[in-house]
Structure 1
Amino acid sequence: MNTINFETFQKQSLEAGFDQVLERKWAADTVVPTHTHPFSVQALVTQGEMWLTCGGVTQHLAAGGTFEMKSDEPHSERYGAEGATFWVARRHA
């Protein structure tokens, strides 16, 4: 299994043109209704699980799972019984 630490994720993301990298933690059973962000994202789930719905398609993501979204893409999020933590790289327009 290929493991990566936050510093490596951050370095690779900045080299790829993302301008902000941070860790996000969500509480258990949190539901975030459909919304958008004014930036594109690339993320890696590091703990827990989540469900991400974009364009009517739902992805179940657990530790090691990755996702990407374009700027202003409508999506919703739901977090599992233990919540979730992910590292996210953002590229502001």
Structure 2
Amino acid sequence: MVTAPPFRVPIGFTTPSKDSGKVEMEKEAFLQLLAAEGFGTVVEVEREAFGTLDSHAHNFEAMALVLHGSLVIRKSDGDFTYNSGDIFHLECNQPHSEVFGEHGVRYLVGRK
């Protein structure tokens, strides 16, 4: 597995390691980040353990904070694992598939 790609870290937030590019933050801080970045629609998504979603794309940009569990997002540039506290970002119309971890996954996602 490949670690998550670098994420643009807002001032005042820290990463757990300088190499991983992953961001950990509290839910409220993430909601503030979404608002600052112009993500108007925010929903909570929950998926079952070991579930999958075949290759697809969304007609919106998405940024999400994993609240519980884990998932792997497969894109053309590799497989990226995200755990509780991690943020992932998908561009509008970016093809990807998803594999959910042994405890499923629950994440808060902003869309624009």
TM-score normalised by length of structure 1: 0.86
Matches within 5 A, 1:4-19: 4-5=26-27, 7-19=28-40
Aligned length: 90
Task: Find the counterpart in structure 1 of residue 71 from structure 2.
Answer: 50
Which amino acid letter does the alignment assign opposite residue 63 of structure 1?
S
1:3 deviation in Å?
Answer: 4.2
TM-score normalised by length of structure 2: 0.73
Unaligned runs of 5+ residues in structure 2 are 1-15, 17-23
Q: Which runs of 4+ in 1 moved over 6 A?
A: none
Task: Find the counterpart in structure 1 of residue 12 from structure 2.
Answer: none
Q: Pick from 79, 83, 88 the counterpart of residue 109 of structure 2.
A: 88
Which amino acid letter does the alignment assign opposite residue 88 of structure 1?
V
* Preserved CA contact (<8 Å) 1:14 1:20: no
- Output the aligned Cα RMSD: 1.6
Bigger share in strand: 1
Cα deviations by residue, 1:34-75 (Å, 9 ceiling, x for unpaired) = 000000011111110110011141001111111111100000
